[in-house]
Structure 1
């Protein structure tokens, strides 16, 4: 599925001193900034945040995480801010977060506190420092902005990363190291009324947000995730088991195990994706056969022709003539 990054958001990224063109290049994401929206796959999103993790300062991270900088061009965040209180806002945030990025927000409710955990949706990638801290800081900013109370702070905040003095000063308490990220708020802070509550705006926004959310498939298999990655990995020549497993943030053995659980193999999926790409290139483009062969990793057209015959039962000439 595709995620949209508007031109306004692109300009916001630039305003923080972050060169988005360089970020895309480093993340191996095609530069299509000339469009009204930059389209990112879930894998692109992960790569982009890995690059942000490498180059941003804590000051830039803090600015990136302020809800007032984002809500004007991210409707899901505006909907959260328009809620009646923090509890409702965080529930909306967790519901519509998928529209902004492939991050799963898990809420664990208790009698006197709410615990929040973030993870990368659908894969085993561990979210980088920038992604986790951005989400945590964003929720703190959401509560403080909605209540106009800058003293609200979590009961505890933890992750596998170092926060730094500047971020801990903003948070209002020392962070704790933990392999599992977690942010905990007191229920008393979550029930404070939001000054930003806006029921008419919610009535306008929510039907569209729900429609967009329903258009996303939440039941994609790991095999489907892999196929999407292979569509870009094969033409780029980065389609080895080792390279692809690194993209997914897991070992080659673990990737093979997940595919075996879905009754397929990495080799089978590579061959299937090459077949699909070959048919598209031959039927929908005017590329010479030698170029198609090269894009699919073949140095000789004869080898490609034999592979194509085994995939489809047809010759290249038969497909091109149709």
Structure 2
């Protein structure tokens, strides 16, 4: 029981990488504590809080959280970024975010609830003295920064952003960043957005993940004999279906607008099956994800549509006759 009481949560290792990049951009000496977390999949929340506090005391600049958030990249958020960038609209992305938010901040449960015409996104209370105004601001700013840079934020309208902490001198900077009214000294730190925004489609065509998926699909297609237009569409459908956890043959054939029987017949003519094609795609993606040191095996398993890490490990061993850990060590 004592262990549970003393548990203060952990954060995704990519946040340490983000802070490292920020230090470099500011030409600041890297603290030893920050150096030590660079190759970790996760580290203690209290270390994250202390690193932010130390940086704030060193720079003494207003709205530091917004500056940090401007530097966020998909790799800093890990699995949630990969998944969000394959979603079709904000509602779908938030649904998946709710499922996996603990992979970024574990120890502070997320609540997504409707309040009249608005959707509230907020984290419940951490242990006393754990959360600070800066950690709250950074958490929300990172989410908004990701939307701003990678999910066409300019087309998403927020209603209000609330923070528990006292009001700073430069509220206008916050309102410029979030593009909505920002209120301080509120009961909760939260984002409020109109429910109507949930069906807004994300931008298409130049998403980083979509480019990656297209390149991977093309690479795989080049290895297949007698490639057809159906094969190309099939690869794309499986790749994106894995991100949405909708990769069963029924979902894929519906996306291709053909029957399950037609798809099976097409694959049979090529001497393969849907299961074998799925294994090819999963193996290719697994190797890409394993190259990212901040993605743990559990996260990679989720990205590939496995409910258990052990199932992914068994499958990988069957594909390549080597464990994921061994493959990662060989290709670091």
Structure-2-length-normalised TM-score: 0.50
- Name the CA distance, whole Å, in 1 between partners of 2:190 and 2:156: 17
**1:146–1:194 CA contact under 8 A, matched in 2:** no
Matches within 5 A, 1:1-322: 3=11, 5=13, 8-9=17-18, 11-17=20-26, 19=28, 21-22=30-31, 24=33, 32=36, 36-37=39-40, 40-55=43-58, 57-58=61-62, 60-66=64-70, 69-75=72-78, 76-102=80-106, 103-110=108-115, 112-119=117-124, 121=126, 123-145=127-149, 147-161=151-165, 162=167, 164=170, 165-177=172-184, 178-195=186-203, 196=207, 198=210, 200=239, 203=242, 208-209=298-299, 211=301
Stretches of structure 1 that go unaligned for 5 or more consecutive residues are 217-322
CA RMSD of aligned residues (A): 3.8
Shift of 1:111: 6.0
- Name the CA distance, whole Å, in 2 between partners of 1:193 and 1:146: 13
Deviations 1:148-180 (A, max 9, x none): 251533111111232522122222233222132
Shift of 1:81: 2.8
- Name the CA distance, whole Å, in 2 between partners of 1:94 and 1:16: 32
Q: 1:156 to 1:74 in 2, by over 3 A?
A: closer
Structure ID, larger Rg: 1
Q: 1:92 to 1:54 in 2, by over 3 A?
A: farther
Q: How many residues align?
A: 208
Structure-1-length-normalised TM-score: 0.52
Stretches of structure 2 that go unaligned for 5 or more consecutive residues are 1-8, 211-236, 246-296, 310-332
**1:85–1:193 CA contact under 8 A, matched in 2:** yes
